Each structure stands twice: as structure tokens, then as C-alpha cells.
Amino acid sequence: MLENLLRERGLTKIWDSSEICSSDEWEKRRSEILKLLCNEEYGFLPCTPDNLSFEVLEQDNKFCAGKVTLNKVSITAQFGNKRFSFPCWTSIPNGNKKYPFFVFINFRGDIPDKYFPTEEICDNGFAILSFCYEDVTSDDNNFSDGIAGVIYGGKDRKDNDCGKISMWSWAASRVMDYAKTLSNLDLTKAFVVGHSRLGKTALLTGALDARFACAISNDSGCSGAAITRGKRGEKIKDIYNSFPYWFCANYKKYMDNEHNLPFDQHFLLAAIAPRKVYVASAKEDLWADPDSEYLSCVAASEVYEKLGFTGFVHPDRLPNVGDVFHKGNIGYHMRDGLHYLSREDWLHFIAYLKKQFKI
Ligand code: GCU
């Protein structure tokens, strides 16, 4: 059944060869895919800073009844004679271990937050490093503030120059740079997470930055996890008209013209392979289109299988509320309810990671 649905959508193949491939061959194809995604959709990321520095601004080692240390840290990137700083918060359990950790791209800096049950995450043995996306650059057409001001400095944006999603993703990688300086984190178990526009950002981050062992997108929808061809709810035309600054200028060529995209969003999921990717959907999130998010997992599975790994383990039907598919390198669940990053979503992410990484 699903094979027919994918055929009807007219998806572009990720890989022409039907044969098993080596990891070197895949890395070559993967870098072509990343170029394509940056060139046509998100824009190329800001250049690497000449220098990075970190400063702990505040510390509370009695957070969560004394179980957790919460620090506020300033991350500063130096580009020639320009500097840019943004705050990040680290919540790390107080035990004597190396903790697996989330880098969480959030809408707010608050801890805990409605999207972010800090104590429960830490009680489950995970640390969490979070930042507020608008501390990196504003969520609007202003390209003169934050990191956008450093990159563009008043210049116009053109063609494949980065949009805001790329900049938020850049910041998630800088948080990973900071994580590398901490001795109580397990760097082999780093997971990037985001919801909605920040779920799109988490997927891009996972694709571009191989230090993340899993990228988790919640309700990321259009230009995130969801297949664009044949998608219901939000289409490229809607998203580009409302949020042109999230993307590069080239993306507008595909408004009402999805069939000419030289890829579809399953390429983004596959670009994370052989590392893991997780897609979470909510039944009533029709704007994001849960069926299209699910079909993307089905289509991306091909790459894992050609590499000799388990891809997406699922039945041959569309998803239902309560489906939890945690057996493969592509993890998935669909819960009831609306567009939201709920505690229920976090508990599924945690269960998947515990199972897959033997945490
Ligand atoms: C809008 C947008 C979505 C996006 C969402 C969000 O609804 O159309 O693409 O995911 O905002 O980020 O909350």
C-alpha cells in the first residue's frame, strides 16, 4: 500500500543504484544532497568562527531539589574583528557520570518551560543544553540583528545565502562545541531536538553536523520532515509567502512548482544516515500533515537499508494515534492532540534513545 502512495507522490529517488553501497559511496552522495538542500532550500550556513569562547555567567547547583546543576553560559564567536554572543543554559544531573544529552533549540529561554520538562528529562539520566532561537537572530525579515548582522552587515541576501533556519542550526552546532569542553557529558550520545520551525532546524542540524547521533523533529511539517509533493495543509507557497526569511531566496522557485524540486524532504532525513533520526507527529496537526511526515520516514528508509542497517520498521499502512515505532534507525510516534511539544513527546524520545543507545 505505502509503495503505491509513494509512487503517486512522484518522489525523486535518493539514489539510482539499487545495490548495497559502501559508507564511502554514501558519504559522497550525502555531501551532494547537503549541497542541494543548502543551495535550493535553506541557504549555506555562516562561515566557521575564527575563535570561540565560553563564559559561565550564573550557576545554581541546587536546581531540581539539588539533583541538577543549572548554568547560564555565554557563547561568543569571533569573526575577524566582529563578535557575536548568545546565552545557553545547561541542566546537568549532579551525579558522577558522563551523561547523554540533548541540545534543545527552544522558543524561549525559560527553564523549565512548557515545551521542556527539565526535571523529568534529568531524572531519566539525560542532560539538556538549551538556547532560545531569537537570542541568535530574530524570527523576522530583519537581517541586521544577532548573527544575521555579522553575516550580512547590511548586504543584501541573494540566491543561496542562508536564511534564519540555517542560522539557528549554526547556533546549535556552537552549543555542541561548548558541550565538547564539558567532562560530564557523553559526546557519543548527543541528540538535537526542536519543535515546528525548530524541528525543521533540528533536522538540518542533524544532517549537517555529524557529531549528533540522533536528530529529533517534533511536528516539523512543511520544509521539515513532511514530503512536499502531494502534501496537504501548508505548501511551499504558504510557507514562503509567510516566512521567506527562514529559507534562501532560491526556494521561491518551487512555489506552486513542487514537482520541479530536485529532491524532497525525505532527502533531509536520509542525509542524517547512518546516524538516527526521529519524527514525531500529532494527529490533529493537519497544517504539518502527519501522513506526509510518515511517508518521508518510509521513503528515507531506503538509504539505511542500502547501507545494511535497519531503516524504518513500520506496518504497510498509514499511521494511527498511539503508533510508536522504535525498532529501527528511524524512530517515530504519533500522538493524539494538537501542534505542541508535549511531555508525552519527550517521554517517547527518551524511550527511543534508551532502547537504541542502551542508556
Ligand atoms: C507556522 C508555519 C509552520 C511552522 C509553525 C511553527 O504554522 O506555517 O511551518 O512549523 O509556524 O514553527 O510554529
The pLDDT tens digits for 256-315 are 999 999 999 999 999 999 999 999 999 999 999 999 999 999 999 999 999 999 999 999
Contacts for 155 with CB less than 8 Å, ≥ 6 apart: none
Q: Is the pLDDT of residue 150 over 90?
A: yes
Let me know: does 268 contact 202? Beta carbons within 8 Å.
Answer: no
Cell readout for 259 is 514537482
Sheet holding 185-195, edge to edge: 51-62, 68-79, 82-93, 127-132, 99-106, 185-195, 214-218, 276-282, 330-335, 324-325
pLDDT at 276: 98
* Atom number, ligand 1, closest to the C-alpha of residue 219: 10
Let me know: does 123 contact 115? Beta carbons within 8 Å.
Answer: no
The pLDDT tens digits for 23-67 are 999 999 999 999 999 999 999 987 789 999 999 999 999 999 999
Mutational test site, ligand 1, from 42, 196, 204, 236, max ligand atoms within 8 Å of CB: 196
Q: What are phi and psi of 63, to 5 degrees?
A: -70, 150
pLDDT at 21: 83
Q: Which amino acid is at 299?
A: A
* 222 in contact with ligand 1, CB cutoff 6 A: yes
Q: Is the pLDDT of residue 20 over 80?
A: no
State the distance from the centre of ligand 1 to the C-alpha of 288, rounded, in angstroms.
Answer: 8
Cell numbers 531536538 correspond to what residue? 193
Query: Residue whose CA is closest, atom 2 of ligand 1?
Result: 239
- pTM over cut 0.85: yes
State the distance from the centre of ligand 1 to the C-alpha of 85, rounded, in angstroms.
Answer: 26
State the distance from the centre of ligand 1 to the C-alpha of 196, rounded, in angstroms.
Answer: 6
The separation between CA 301 and the C-alpha centre of its own chain, rounded to angstroms, equals 18
pLDDT at 270: 97
* 194 in contact with ligand 1, CB cutoff 6 A: no
